[in-house]
């Protein structure tokens, strides 16, 4: 409001300065002191909010890698986590199969008459596993020129 102590007035009550139409810009219904220059006011807030947006976006994009001091764990926190992990692992170990022979519901004749794995298959597996193992072991960097040159001693 334009007059002194106007904020202490009853907002709900109508008075000589109450706007006849609800003002969409100010939520409380009080026109700002600069309301005589609505366009200026608008552009100012726009600029400010745009600047704030840019600032916010930049702040979001920045990755502060200069901060190399990691958050180090407190001893008590570490102990707590250790206990938690151990409890989890212990609970996993308790899971056991309920039956000593799971999935043994096939009639014996079917299970027993199943064809055995052929020796050709086994030989194929053996040969191939040896070949792949050799391939894994043979992975290396192809040597080109020397990486380091020494400065010639005077």
Q: Which residues bind other proteins (CB under 8 A)?
A: 63, 65, 67-68, 70, 72-73, 78, 114, 117, 121-122, 124-126, 128-133, 135-142, 144-151
Q: How far is the CB of 55 from other proteins (least distance, A)?
A: 21
From CA 2, how far away is CA 19, in angstroms rounded?
Answer: 12
From CA 84, how far away is CA 86, in angstroms rounded?
Answer: 5
Q: Provide CB contacts within 8 A for 23, sequence distance 6+.
A: 29, 31
Q: How far is the CB of 118 from other proteins (least distance, A)?
A: 10
In the complex with other proteins, the residue whose CB is nearer, 8 or 115, is 115
From CA 9, how far away is CA 129, in angstroms rounded?
Answer: 90
Q: How far is the CB of 88 from other proteins (least distance, A)?
A: 17
In the complex with other proteins, the residue whose CB is nearer, 4 or 152, is 152
What are φ and ψ of residue 23, in 5° steps? -85, 125
């Amino acid at each position: 409001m334009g007059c002194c102590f106007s904020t202490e007035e009853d907002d709900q009550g109508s008075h000589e300065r109450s706007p006849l139409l609800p003002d969409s810009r100010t939520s409380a219904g009080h026109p700002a002191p600069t309301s005589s220059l609505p366009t200026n006011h608008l552009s100012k807030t726009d600029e400010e909010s745009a600047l704030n947006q840019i600032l916010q976006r930049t702040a979001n994009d920045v990755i502060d890698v200069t901060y190399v001091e990691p958050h180090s764990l407190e001893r008590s926190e570490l102990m707590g986590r250790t206990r938690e992990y151990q409890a989890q692992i212990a609970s996993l170990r308790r899971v056991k199969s309920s039956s000593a022979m799971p999935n043994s519901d096939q009639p014996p004749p079917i299970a027993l008459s199943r064809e055995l794995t052929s020796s050709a298959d086994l030989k194929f597996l053996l040969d191939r596993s040896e070949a792949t193992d050799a391939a894994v072991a043979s992975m290396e960097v192809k040597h080109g020129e020397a990486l380091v040159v020494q400065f010639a001693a005077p």
